[in-house]
Amino acid sequence: MRLNPPRKFFNAFLLASAFVIVSLILWNTNSFFRKFKDEERHKMEIWATAQSELLRSSENEELGTLHLKVLQLNTTTPMILVNADGSVKVNNLPGVSVEDHSLIREKIDVFESENNPIRIDYQGEHLATLYYGNSEVLNKLKYYPIALLLIIFLFGAVIFFFFRTNKISEQNKLWAGMAKETAHQIGTPLTSLLGWNELLKGEAINPGITLEIEKDIGRLQAITERFSQIGSTPRLERLDLVAETRDAFEYLRARSSKLIRFSFHSRAESLPVLLNRSLYHWSIENLVKNGIDAMKGKGEVSIEIVPSGHFVNVLVSDTGHGIPRHQFQEIFHPGFTTKKRGWGLGLSLVKRIIEEYHGGKIKVLSSGKAGTVMQLSLALLKTNGKK
C-alpha cells in the first residue's frame, strides 16, 4: 500500500535542504571567524612593529608619524606588553592596574590560550613580548553559531508543532465525520426495528420479550446520539447524578455475566449537576467495562457516590489486576491500551467528556493487587440552579 510517497519525499527534501543550509551557514561563519581572527593578528603584528620602533628609538629621536598613528589607533584589542626589563604596560583593559601582578598573570594566561604571543625583537635583541586577547567583536562572533543553532532549533520546533497540531486537527475532523456518518447510517435500521417491534406487540408472545427489545432499541438510539455529538459542543442540562449513574450502572448489570457482582451505593439521595445524559452514561459504561475486562470476567464492580463540599465524587471500583503507578497518566492518552485487541480510545474519550465538556476531573484514585478505583469529580448545583 502506498502511503503518500510524494509528501514523504517532499518532507525528506525539506529536511535535507535545512541540514545543508545550516551546514553552509556554520561553515561560512567559521570561515569568517578564522579570517577575522587572522586580520586581527595581522593588525597586532603591525602594532608590534610600530612598538619595536618606539622601544629602540632614543629619547631625542622623533618617532615617525605613521608609527604613532598605528599605536594610537588600536582601541579595541586588549593587550599586555611585557618589556625585557620586566615592566608591564596594559592597553584597552579598563580596571586592570599594572600594580596588580596576580590579575596581570591571570590575564596573560587567558590571552595565551586565545592567541599566540608576539615577540618583539630588533637585530637579535629581545625587546618585549606582546600578549593580546580577542576583541569584543570577535568574542561576540564566537557565540554567533550557537545563537544561530538555537534560533533554528526553535524555528524547527514551531514548525513541527504546527504540522503536528494540524495533523491532529485533521484526524479529529476525520473521526468526527466518521462518527456522524455512523450515527446517520444507524438511524435507518433503527426506525425499521421500532416498526417491527410494534408489530410484535400485536402478536401472542411474551410481553417481556418486546420490553427487552425496546430497551435495546433505546440503547442503540443512545449510541446514535453519542456519535452524533462527537465534534460538537454537547448541551448540558440539570439532572440528578445519582439517578443517571444508577441507570447506566443497572443497564450493564442486566447484560453482564452472572460471575460479576455489582454493587451501588450513594451517600445522598439526589445530587443535582449539569450533565449531558448520553455522554455521561457513555463515560460510566466505559469505566465499568474496563473494570470487567481487568477482572477477566470474574469479580466485583462497585460504584460509590460521595459528596465533597461543592463537588461530588463518583468512585468506580473493580477487583482486577491493577494499573502500574507509572501508567496512571498514560492510560488517558489516545491509543494507549494494555489489551491485545483495542484502540485505546475508551479512557481518552471519558477524560474528554468529563474534563472538557463537563468541567470536571478524572483520575486513578488508587490501584494495586486488590483492584483499581477510578474517581470522577463534578461540580454540584445549588438549589437555585447555580454552581
Cβ neighbour number for residue 173 with a 10 Å cutoff: 11
Paired residues of 313 in beta bridges = 306, 377
User: What is the average per-residue pLDDT within 79-103?
Assistant: 84
Find cell 410484535 and name the residue: 200
All cell numbers assigned to 127: 625587546
pLDDT at 235: 85
pTM: 0.51
pLDDT at 374: 95
**Model confidence band, residue 271 (pLDDT cutoffs 50, 70, 90):** very high
Residue 2 has pLDDT above 50, yes or no: no
Give the whole-angstrom CA distance, residue 372 versus residue 350: 16
User: What is the average per-residue pLDDT within 151-180?
Assistant: 71
pLDDT at 69: 63
pLDDT at 44: 83
User: pLDDT above 70 covers what percent of the chain?
Assistant: 80
For domain 17-142, which architecture applies?
2-Layer Sandwich (3.30)
Residue 313 has pLDDT above 90, yes or no: yes
pLDDT at 60: 44
User: What is the average per-residue pLDDT within 319-323?
Assistant: 88
User: What is the average per-residue pLDDT within 33-47?
Assistant: 82
Backbone angles phi, psi at 116, to 5 degrees: -70, 135
Give the whole-angstrom CA distance, residue 241 versus residue 236: 13
Instruction: Answer with the residue of higher pLDDT: 363 or 210.
Output: 363
Spatial contact of 307 and 380, defined as CB atoms under 8 Å apart: yes
Residue 283 has pLDDT above 80, yes or no: yes
Q: Work out the angle at residue 132's Cα, subtended by the Cα atoms of residues 127 and 134, and round it to the nearest 5 degrees.
A: 165
Residue 196 has pLDDT above 90, yes or no: no
pLDDT at 62: 53
Spatial contact of 236 and 358, defined as CB atoms under 8 Å apart: yes
Pairing assessment for the beta strands 88-91 and 79-83 based on DSSP bridges: antiparallel
Find cell 527534501 and name the residue: 13
**Model confidence band, residue 1 (pLDDT cutoffs 50, 70, 90):** very low
Give the whole-angstrom CA distance, residue 83 versus residue 122: 13
pLDDT at 385: 47
Q: What is the CA 250 to chain-centroid distance, rounded? A: 40
Give the whole-angstrom CA distance, residue 276 versus residue 358: 8
pLDDT in tens, 351-366: 988 998 899 999 999 9
pLDDT at 300: 94
- Give CA separation, 25 vs 13, 18, 21, 29, 146, in Å: 18, 11, 6, 6, 12
pLDDT at 218: 76
- Give CA separation, 347 vs 12, 46, 364, in Å: 35, 75, 11
Backbone angles phi, psi at 309, to 5 degrees: 65, -125
**Model confidence band, residue 138 (pLDDT cutoffs 50, 70, 90):** confident
116-125, 149-158, 162-171, range with the lowest pLDDT: 162-171
**Model confidence band, residue 71 (pLDDT cutoffs 50, 70, 90):** low
**Model confidence band, residue 78 (pLDDT cutoffs 50, 70, 90):** confident
Instruction: Answer with the residue of higher pLDDT: 338 or 272.
Output: 272
Find cell 427489545 and name the residue: 213
Instruction: Answer with the residue of higher pLDDT: 8 or 242.
Output: 242
pLDDT at 34: 81
HEC per residue, the chain = CCCCHHHHHHHHHHHHHHHHHHHHHHHHHHHHHHHHHHHHHHHHHHHHHHHHHHHHCCCCCCCCHHHHHHHHHCCCCCEEEEECCCCEEEECCCCCCCCCHHHHHHHHHHHHHHCCCEEEEECCEEEEEEEECCCHHHHHHHCHHHHHHHHHHHHHHHHHHHHHHHHHHHHHHHHHHHHHHHHHHHHHHHHHHHHHHHHHHCCCCCHHHHHHHHHHHHHHHHHHHHHHHCCCCCCCEEEEHHHHHHHHHHHHHHCCCCCEEEEEEECCCCCEEEECHHHHHHHHHHHHHHHHHHCCCCEEEEEEEEEECCEEEEEEEECCCCCCHHHCCHHHCCCCCCCCCCCCCHHHHHHHHHHHHCCCEEEEEEEECCEEEEEEEEECCCCCCCC
pLDDT at 59: 45
Spatial contact of 84 and 130, defined as CB atoms under 8 Å apart: no
Residue 118 has pLDDT above 70, yes or no: yes
CATH 3.40.50.1860 matches 235-379:
no
Residue 309 has pLDDT above 80, yes or no: yes
